[in-house]
Amino acid sequence: MKTLLRPSGFGGQAQRRPSGFGGQAQRRPAGYGRRAALLALAIAWCGLVFVSAQAPAARSPSSPVRPVPDPAATDISVVRVQKNVYMLASRAGNVAVQIGDDGLLLVDTGTAPMAQKLFAAIRTLSNKPIHTIINTHLHADHTGGNLALVKLGAGGPQPPRVMGHENTYNRMVAAAVEANANTPAAALPMDAFFTPTRDFFLNGEAIVLHHVPAAHTDGDTLVHFRGSDVVATGDVFNPDIYPVIDIANGGTISGTIAALNRMLEITVPAKYQEGGTYVVPGHGRICDEAEVVEYRDMVTIIRDRVADLVKKGLTLDQVKAAKPSRDYDGDYGTTSGFWTTEMFVEAVYRTINATK
How many CA atoms within 13 Å lie on the side-chain side of 249?
29
- Residue 207 clears pLDDT 80, i.e. is over it: yes
Find the mean pLDDT for residues 51-57. Answer: 39
**Helix axes 341-354 and 289-311, enclosed angle (nearest 10):** 60
Write down the pLDDT at residue 23. 39
Does position 40 have pLDDT exceeding 60, yes or no?
Answer: no
Cβ atoms of 193 and 209 closer than 8 Å:
yes
**Band (63; pLDDT cuts 50, 70, 90):** confident
Mean pLDDT for the stretch of residues 110-131: 97
How confident is the model over 1-26, as a mean pLDDT? Answer: 39
Does position 48 have pLDDT exceeding 50, yes or no? no
Going by pLDDT thresholds of 50, 70 and 90, the confidence category of residue 75 is very high
State the average pLDDT over residues 75-96. 97
CATH entry, 32-354, from 3.60.15.10, 3.40.50.80, 3.30.70.100, 3.40.50.620: 3.60.15.10
Burial class, 226, CB count within 10 angstroms (exposed 0-12 / middle 13-18 / buried 19+): middle
pLDDT band at residue 172, thresholds of 50, 70 and 90? very high
Q: Check whether 26 has a pLDDT greater than 50.
A: no
Q: What is the pLDDT of residue 83?
A: 97
* Helical residues (DSSP H) of 180-285, grouped into ranges: 253-266
> Which residues are 5's β-sheet partners?
none
pTM here is: 0.84
Q: Where are the alpha helices (DSSP H) in 267-336?
A: 289-311, 316-322, 329-332
Task: Provide the residue count of the chain.
Answer: 356
Least confident window among 33-42, 197-206, 308-317 = 33-42
Contact 15, 191 (CB under 8 A): no
